[in-house]
Amino acid sequence: MLHSLKEKDFPLIKFSLLALAVLAFAMTAVASDKQIKVIYGDDNRLDVFESPNEAYVTLSRSTAAMIPNTSMRTQADQTTISGPTMVSRGFCADERFSHQITAAMCSGFLVGDKYLVTAGHCIKTDFDCSANKWVFDYKVDDAAQSGVTVASDSVYSCKRIISRSLETLSQDDYAYIELDRVVTDRAPLTFRKTGKINTGDEILVIGHPTGLPTKITDGAKVRALKGKFFTANLDTYGGNSGSAVFNATTGVVEGILVRGETDYISDSRGCRASNICPENGCRGEDVTYITNIKELMNQ
């Protein structure tokens, strides 16, 4: 008991308190390490240059980033893209890709010679159409690169919104737009026109998580088929909205990434870290069926 402690016992008490403090710090460090991992199981995000799959790299060429006009500066035939890094936005320094810029607001993909698909919540009005550009090749070429410069020919404007859906009840979510000119240096993606993908099928997504340069993310599977969308354990974040979700076996676009689990949580260090979920846990990510776009099906 406290009243029976003698002065000779103080060193032992101090040692015990120190040991407890060290143990508490170690437990906190372990908890923080767990918090900074990815959403579903292993982190499957790769920069384009890291991907060993040439077919996936080819698919990535036909995906685009929606970037505000104010985040680009064009000189001659080059356009430099600017944006804050993840660290400067309050994300933890040991988050993957934390040194890269985060300029993209949404993602999209080419489905015709001058037609592109994205999420309906990404382009709501004609102002959204005119205030942003669609940029192909927004990617890094090595691990140390932080900023991105693209050929000006890779930058396109939104000419008009052909069709769009953002329904509360059914949760249908897509936008089908026309670009300002024909895209001649890359092929439109092949997309499903009839039927649906199957539960358990392997899929991948290509887009711009947290506004980052292009990431190829595979290793996911379809969890369940819903009315206007399906759910999957894709490692996706805000900025991936509008990304093409592909059948990993056929390379065909099955849908559009539109919603998902909470991306980041507050870390004990005072920064934001990736939320973690078991491979089969959390709510999953929602993908609008590409076949919902009737105008595209009739193209």
CA dihedral defined by 188, 190, 195, 196, rounded to 10 degrees? -100
What was the pLDDT predicted at 25?
33
Question: What secondary structure does DSSP assign to 238-292, as a single string?
Answer: TT-TT-EEEETTT--EEEEEEE-S--EEE-TTSSEEE--B-TT-SS-EEEEEGGG
Provide, for the chain, the percentages of residues in helix, strand and coil under a 3-state DSSP scheme, each rounded to the nearest 5: 20, 35, 45
Of all helices (H) and strands (E), which one includes residue 80?
A: strand 78-81
Pick the CATH number of 45-297 from 3.40.50.2000, 2.40.10.10, 3.40.50.1820, 3.30.70.260: 2.40.10.10
Burial class (CB in 10 A: 0-12, 13-18, 19+), 75: exposed
Strand 244-247 to 253-259 pairing: antiparallel
Give the span between the Cα atoms of 288 and 46, in whole angstroms: 23
Do residues 140 and 85 make contact, with C-beta atoms less than 8 angstroms apart?
no
Question: Domain residue spans in the chain?
Answer: 45-297
Q: How many CB atoms lie within 10 A of CB 271?
A: 20
Residue 124, both tokens: 């709501």
Residues of the chain with pLDDT under 70: 1-39
Closest C-alpha to 288, from 120, 104, 116, 40:
120
Give the span between the Cα atoms of 133 and 114, in whole angstroms: 14
Amino acid at 67: I
What was the pLDDT predicted at 263?
75
Do residues 71 and 79 make contact, with C-beta atoms less than 8 angstroms apart?
no
pTM of the model: 0.84
What was the pLDDT predicted at 2?
33
Do residues 65 and 134 make contact, with C-beta atoms less than 8 angstroms apart?
yes
What was the pLDDT predicted at 283?
84
What was the pLDDT predicted at 107?
98
What was the pLDDT predicted at 39?
58
